[in-house]
Structure 1
């Protein structure tokens, strides 16, 4: 039975070592991703979430929609946090035009971070944030136009 004790001890040591290596690897990856994400979050906040001009543009669009259709219509926008993300950032811009929900969302995937507008067919890299912002506003305007035809 001495041989069995030795095998069990070796097995236990191997499993403990593998768990420790996996934990250390996960911590290194999380630290690297976190530093990458912080760069993207800063760009997102500067251009979208904390950008007064962008917020003013959305307010202007909503107020004009309400002026054009003053009765029984729901038009509003908001910034929302994605609770599944580790980082605390308002990463979703929502615009509601009655029952239509339009979104522009920051999705953090390390170096593959992307911005997704409304449907998954409109995907932009973080480098194209201005184009994503302009396209999103155009989608909002087009949706309102279609609703009122």
Structure 2
């Protein structure tokens, strides 16, 4: 959970690909309260209810930007659209993870912040598992996925 994979160009990249429920994404956001966050959400649609997530975005301090993706991306996007229209946060729909990363970087811009992959949904369809999705995120952020997958001190690489 919440693996800080590194910093580049004023952005901190955090891999929370293991987040497969909307409530897990909310918990990840709480950990970065006070930071400028671009949140990447969405993945395999298994029919989970995103109502609590949306309500938190209406009442709590939301991220600067939310980028939706995956098969449930359009459903999440539609639920968030009224809040984005009211100016609570920026909202974009991405075709895939590379597109989501590009949108997140652009949204945070030169002011910097945290690009947080906490999708709240499984990776099925696009990736073999959450590990593969996290490794791709690291690669897109410019880091060696083999290095970030290692667990120092116990010989797992």
Question: What range is the shorter-chain TM-score in?
Answer: under 0.3
TM-score (norm. length: structure 2): 0.24
Larger proportion of helix: 1
TM-score (norm. length: structure 1): 0.25
Which is greater in Rg? Answer: 1
